[in-house]
Structure 1
């Protein structure tokens, strides 16, 4: 009984510490997972129905709204939102589809990846909800292969700027 109580107490303390450490992005990412995009859900930025469009989508969590996922109809819309300085400092985690795992026309929500470690192709001839969008990949080699086939330039997360989105 003592061992069971001790084990239960350590689990409780671990969960309490996790919940109370709101500033650690790695701990938040453990709790804030990508979720499926349901039919009829609207883009947080433009209000369009997300599932009506091809191409990679994005999701993010804000630090002060830890249980609310914000979903976007394209990676371009997600980055347009994120790159606003007020939003940028308040985002804890971002997810994008890994387009090497699925067809462009039907992104699979089982293949979201951390946007900060993703590779992107900007300027390809593939379009998303709002026209040109950033194709997202977990591996740089896959991004290069896509760029050879559809045009565009391979960039990493740090290189995504508003000028790239235009």
Structure 2
């Protein structure tokens, strides 16, 4: 076997492998569709409440079919997304960064819901009472938790039992 051919073949294989590996490791959020902005007519899919009329973080799910569901608080997003019967293909989920958004009248400041840090069980009310306060920066979440109480969670740590709209963890003040 020709040594030069072998060396070239190995170098080419390594280069192709490097391209494949790095393309698979690119930031997933780079391919996410942009979030929708809230308008005067934007209402929660769960109860028809106007998102602009209430305090606290809002949320949205963008589906593969182009449709979007909005939620007047982040608890609603989790209560829908984590249901066992939820089978719609999700393209993206967004929540508002409460480290930069105005709690009383949040607009914009959308972040990838899966990358956010959440404070659950705080005394700061959202649209439906206690909510999952969402933050892009963990330090902002820790500061919020120190002043408002609650516990820090990552997206993947939130369970359906925590996201019940009938009480559950958000009503447990002992946590």
What TM-score range do you get, normalising by the shorter chain?
0.7 to 0.9
Gaps of 5+ in 1: 1-25
Equivalent pair of 2:80/2:86 in contact (CA under 8 Å): yes
Structural RMSD (CA): 1.9
What's the secondary structure of 2:85's corresponding residue?
helix
Where does residue 49 of structure 2 map in the other structure? 48
Q: Name the structure where helix makes up a greater proportion of residues.
A: 1
| SS of equivalent to 2:140 | helix
CA deviation vs aligned residue, 1:84-113 (integer Å, no higher than 9, x gap): 12326632210000000022101121x100
Larger radius of gyration: 2
* TM-score, normalising length: structure 2: 0.72
Q: 2:32–2:91: 8 Å Cα contact kept in structure 1?
A: no
Among 116, 122, 137, the alignment partner of 2:114 is 116
Structure 1 residue ranges (4+ consecutive) displaced by more than 4 angstroms after TM superposition: none
Aligned length: 138
Q: Does 1:34 find its partner at 2:21?
A: no
SS of residue paired to 2:106: coil
Change (3 A) 1:93 1:47: same
Q: How does 1:124-139 map to 2 (within 5 A)?
A: 124-139=122-137
Q: Judge which range, 40-49 or 87-96, deviates more.
A: 87-96
Aligned twin of 1:15? none
Structure 2: 5+ residue stretches without partners? 1-27, 169-175
TM-score by length of structure 1 reads 0.76
The secondary structure found in structure 2 opposite 1:96 is: strand
- Aligned position for 2:173: none
Corresponding residue for residue 149 of structure 1: 147
Secondary structure at the residue paired with 2:161? Answer: helix
